[in-house]
Copies of this chain bind each other. A is one copy, B any other.
Amino acid sequence: MKNFISLADVSDPKALVQEAIQLKKNPFADKALGKNKTIGLLFFNSSLRTRLSTQKAAQNLGMEVMVMNVNQDSWGLEMMDGVVMNGDKAEHVKEAAAVIGQYCDIIAVRSFAELKDRNADYQEIVINKFKQYAGVPIVNLESATRHPLQSLADCITIEEYKTKPRPKVVLTWAPHFKSLPQAVANSFSEWMNVWDVDFVVTHPEGYDLAPEFVGNAQVVYNQREAFEGADFIYTKNWSSYKDYGKVLTQNPDWMITMDKMRLTNNGKFMHCLPVRRNLKVTDEVLDSPQSIVIPQAGNRVWSAQVVLKQILSGL
């Protein structure tokens, strides 16, 4: 693997998941692989799971880790070409990426969607600029439109918890008062489209994801109908793609409740976290045995570790 920016960088996603499940049994077996190798973790945005699980994964592989909160620790970065840099951005990504590439064998970047200009976000300017200029492999720690380390962890989790060869997986929108990116939902859809699952997406009208991400998913605007017989309920809020970045509704009827979970086939509740309790999902669901959000988050280590292992093997 050369980079891990999207599913397209993975030649065999199912083999990758199986390798992650194997590696989980013996986390330190590849500790020699990362010896004298350094990963730089660059955060333009907040992070808990991604920050810690990727560090942990790199350390399991024997790597050195350097973490930088770009805007707090360093300089504001200009992403646009050709501008006269007389504003608040002191450094251009051309230099920053190339310089960090001098110090790191792998660079991992988190940079959320700004949700102002759809074209800009969907061009994935930040992560692509890093790819273009760093000269070393790039790992996506959630970019404007995708969060593939999360999706890979989700696939590992589904493989571990599924009780039939082809489970029904439902991605459901849930209410939130803030404008949130589509990245997790996009990425999850992208991966589910190549997975052995019956994949259903449910959300209020106006919240359709971009066609290239929905793919062949069945889209249902009636949440209860979508939940029927589901093996996995994957919950997430996102803002509108069509009316870009807008919160069109906060309808509390879309919150996940035990009542709705009873429509499923004893379905497992998944969420990438952080999750706002009693806004997107009730305490009762999260605290029930059907919730697998903690082992799902735990799988972020193996998701990152298998990706770093693959990249290190190719250095």
- B-binding residues in A (CB < 8 A): 27-28, 36, 38, 40, 43, 46-49, 51-53, 55-56, 59-60, 64, 66, 68-69, 72-75, 78, 81-86, 90-92, 94-96, 98-100, 102-104, 177, 273-279, 283, 286-287, 293-295, 297-298, 301
Contact = CB atoms under 8 A, between A and B. Distances in A.
Given A48-B100, A52-B66, A92-B274, 16 more contacts: A36-B60, A46-B73, A47-B73, A53-B103, A78-B277, A82-B278, A84-B279, A91-B276, A95-B274, A95-B275, A95-B286, A95-B293, A96-B274, A102-B294, A102-B301, A103-B301
B274 A91 contact: yes
Given A49-B99, A75-B48, A91 B297 contact: no
Contacts of A73: 43, 46-48, 51, 69
Number of copies: 3
Given A103-B53, A294-B102, A86 B48 contact: no
A69 B68 contact: no
A177 B48 contact: no
Contacts of A104: 52, 56
A296 to B, nearest CB: 9
A146 B58 CA distance: 35
Contacts of A177: 86
B277 A85 contact: yes
A103 B277 contact: no
Given A59-B38, A102-B294, A298-B102, A278 B84 contact: yes
A275 to B, nearest CB: 7
A287 B69 CA distance: 27
Contacts of A86: 177, 276, 279
A66 B55 contact: yes
Given A46-B73, A86-B279, A104-B52, A273 B66 contact: no
Given A36-B28, A46-B75, A85-B279, A52 B100 contact: yes
